Structure 1
Amino acid sequence: MINVKPGSVVFENVSKTFGAFTAIPDLSLTIEPGTLVTLLGPSGCGKTTTLRMLAGLEHPTSGRILIGGKDVTMLPANERDVSMVFQSYALFPHMSALDNVAYGLQSSGLRKAEAREKAEEGLKLVGLAGMGHRLPAELSGGQQQRVAVARALVLEPQVLLLDEPLSNLDARLRRRVRTEIRDLQQRLGFTAVYVTHDQDEALAVSDRIIVMKDGAIAQAGAPRDLYEFPASAFIADFMGEANVIACEVVGQEGEEALVRVAGVDHRVASRHARPGSAKLAVRPGSIRIGASGGPGIPGRILHSAYLGGHVEYEVETAVGTLFIVDHDMTEGLPAATDVTLDLKKRGIALIAA
């Protein structure tokens, strides 16, 4: 029986430099036991360096790292009670799936028969029962990834680390495997730290997302909070595409702010809006297109593209060119059509100017 022991993760004022380059200036974060937390951000933001320090593949320049309350800052990787699932799967090509899963168990001193029994259990856990005899080359990409997950889980780590685990899979397979990983994490209750640059992936699997920029935390929170209440234009645009529009806050009524965009007033959810200049982050699907001359923001369609389930537009307005996704219109409006734009209630966030 695989019995994981979920541990907490704490970074205390951790920094990491490579020569004159500072990858992580001063990072403090806490990951609760039994949660799946995603480190998300663009290339070079520091997410992979953070994961490698947690794995023991890099050591901090300063600060402390604790796993399950134990200081592991300077411990080697094999003494940290973590397991890692790599982007490349890192399976031994000459070994069967069963032997790949059993390898770490045997290396840690478990008798061969016990290791193979536990490896069989691990393969069953990820839906590969009866396939242990196959070589990696005889498995699909998704199956190879599941072997890699089983190999990591049978070691019963306090923390499972996943480094861009789905990047080698096609889009449809990524959706399926990410669901399997999330279901497995919730069923077994292990702590997982998941690194990706894919926003949809992060939204789908995470209890909590930590968005990084320049080696620091730009914003952290539940997926819905980050998507619907971004703290900055960077977060709004990174957590799914957004139009960032200049506006003016002209009033506050309860938990709504009255904002003015191109002379048109809108009500936006905001508890602590201050009067004055600000910005709105508007999701492409949160703009309604109407006939020219109606109430709203006047605009002219620059480009129109019919994509089956929706129509995409670029519309020129007084507040800039806006990208709009319309799921309601069965036929697209052509370029050079004059229109009026109105903002929907959802998908609009007020952010600092």
Structure 2
Amino acid sequence: MTDARRGAVSFRGVVKTFGSFTAIPGLDLEIEPGELVTLLGPSGCGKTTTLRMLAGLETPTSGEIAIGGTEVTRLPANRRDVSMVFQSYALFPHMSVARNVAYGLESGGMKPREARAAAIEGLNLVGLTGMADRLPSELSGGQQQRVAVARALVLEPQVLLLDEPLSNLDARLRRRVRTEIRDLQQRLGFTAVYVTHDQEEALAVSDRIVVMREGRIAQQGSPRELYEAPASEFIADFIGEANVLPCEVLSIEGGDASVRVGGATLTLPARDAAPGPAKLAARANAIRLTPGPGPLTGRILSAAYLGDHMEYEVETDLGTLFVVAPEDDNAFGQGSDVALAFRARGLALIA
């Protein structure tokens, strides 16, 4: 292994079966050193099984896994250069924070004094200076999660694995801790594989998102690529809850498509579309509501005020649409008749 490949991860033709059930039918995935890749998908899609195979907690039925250019497919978990942060934190309640962080180092043969010094350095790294002698019960949930991250990082693994690390935190704390994890990863440049079912979390922390469905990669790319250019109806709906509308591609010219949606005609990137029936993914904030008649009309089924924006369900000839509008736009009540128009961004033709 060269330093340049330290932290690189490869899945080559990996298959995992449980009896007659095939959880992963054949996975090929490359993760670059220093990259934070999120495995995202609904329950049962194979993301956690993939992470557990990388950690050595499950053995592939066939195929190869490599870390840093070295094959590790059959190596036990304790011989892989990875550390894992679990959703439950898995801290020892009777040990101080410093002893929790130092535990893995001492188990590996480091002298207690050296292990404590490394543990305190790790705690400083995650913003827990001065808390070394507290018990886990004396910390908040977010602080406990940072202890779990410090415990993993002091082992200096090639790859840090995070399995739903924020699922036990409330919404506000999740936002703060995910920012801290991302900042730490970028500052230290370690490779991380992050598993979550939360689309917003994945968009916030990732260099690259791998969306999985039924054990296969449905699409992978940067957060912006997946959000703005979904490859399928499944991706469009799963990443950001897009409205998927029937449409017709009228013509293609110079990479642009002329598209009819209801009574409106739009010009959009063609994305390999051909003239004829198609589908349009429209983000909730890409639809604008106005009073009065228009080429596409609807009726407000529900209206919810959420402080800085309104959320609407609108009945139209194209189906019921979910619309998010800034609070300073026109506010409409239930039963209002509205015209719908499309903003310039947040629209994509899909297969």
AA aligned opposite 1:72: V
Aligned partner of 1:320 in structure 2 is 319
Aligned partner of 1:125 in structure 2 is 125
Aligned partner of 1:285 in structure 2 is 285
Aligned partner of 2:87 in structure 1 is 87
Contact 2:98 2:120 in 1 (8 A): yes
Counterpart CA distance in 1 for 2:190 and 2:75 is 22
Aligned partner of 1:147 in structure 2 is 147
- 1:276 CA drift (Å): 1.1
Counterpart CA distance in 1 for 2:170 and 2:82 is 28
CA offsets, 1:91-148, max 9 Å, x none?
0111000000000001011111111111111011001111000010011101100100
Could you say what secondary structure the match of 2:128 adopts?
coil
Aligned partner of 2:9 in structure 1 is 9
- Segments of structure 2 that go 5 or more residues without pairing to the other structure are none
User: Which moved further from structure 2: 114-123 or 270-279?
Assistant: 270-279
CA offsets, 1:281-321, max 9 Å, x none?
10111101122223x31212222222221111111111111
Counterpart CA distance in 1 for 2:333 and 2:175 is 34
Counterpart CA distance in 2 for 1:292 and 1:323 is 19
- 1:183 CA drift (Å): 0.6
Counterpart CA distance in 2 for 1:281 and 1:348 is 6
Aligned partner of 1:115 in structure 2 is 115
Could you say what secondary structure the match of 1:247 adopts?
strand
Contact 1:245 1:282 in 2 (8 A): yes
- 1:7 CA drift (Å): 1.1
Contact 1:254 1:271 in 2 (8 A): no
Aligned partner of 1:77 in structure 2 is 77
Runs of 4+ in 1 over 3 A off after TM superposition: 328-331
User: Which moved further from structure 2: 89-98 or 262-271?
Assistant: 262-271
Q: TM-score w.r.t. structure 2 length?
A: 0.97
- 1:273 CA drift (Å): 2.3
Contact 2:307 2:327 in 1 (8 A): no
Counterpart CA distance in 2 for 1:194 and 1:283 is 25
Contact 1:6 1:189 in 2 (8 A): no
Aligned partner of 2:350 in structure 1 is 351
Aligned partner of 2:255 in structure 1 is 255
CA offsets, 1:134-167, max 9 Å, x none?
0100111011001000000000000000000011
- 1:173 CA drift (Å): 0.7
- 1:328 CA drift (Å): 4.7
Aligned partner of 1:305 in structure 2 is 304
Is 1:190 paired with 2:183? Answer: no
Aligned partner of 2:204 in structure 1 is 204
Contact 2:65 2:71 in 1 (8 A): yes
- 1:6 CA drift (Å): 4.2
Q: TM-score w.r.t. structure 1 length?
A: 0.96
Could you say what secondary structure the match of 1:260 adopts?
strand
User: Which moved further from structure 2: 38-47 or 271-280?
Assistant: 271-280
Could you say what secondary structure the match of 1:308 adopts?
coil
AA aligned opposite 1:30: E
Aligned partner of 2:175 in structure 1 is 175
Q: How does 1:335-350 map to 2 (within 5 A)?
A: 335-350=334-349
Counterpart CA distance in 1 for 2:329 and 2:299 is 19
Aligned partner of 2:47 in structure 1 is 47
Counterpart CA distance in 2 for 1:177 and 1:304 is 32
CA offsets, 1:4-40, max 9 Å, x none?
x941000001011111111111111000000000000
Counterpart CA distance in 2 for 1:19 and 1:179 is 40
Alignment RMSD (CA, Å): 1.5
Contact 1:306 1:332 in 2 (8 A): no
- Segments of structure 1 that go 5 or more residues without pairing to the other structure are none
Could you say what secondary structure the match of 2:162 adopts?
strand
Counterpart CA distance in 2 for 1:257 and 1:330 is 30
CA offsets, 1:58-78, max 9 Å, x none?
000110000001110000001
CA offsets, 1:306-348, max 9 Å, x none?
2221111111111111111111545631222221111111011
- 1:266 CA drift (Å): 1.0
Aligned partner of 1:38 in structure 2 is 38
How many percent of aligned residue pairs carry the same amino acid? Answer: 70
Aligned partner of 1:165 in structure 2 is 165
CA offsets, 1:251-301, max 9 Å, x none?
12333211111132111233432111110010111101122223x312122
Counterpart CA distance in 2 for 1:163 and 1:257 is 42
Counterpart CA distance in 1 for 2:335 and 2:125 is 56
Counterpart CA distance in 2 for 1:309 and 1:328 is 5
Could you say what secondary structure the match of 1:7 adopts?
coil
Q: How does 1:267-282 map to 2 (within 5 A)?
A: 267-282=267-282
Could you say what secondary structure the match of 2:315 adopts?
strand
Contact 1:304 1:335 in 2 (8 A): yes
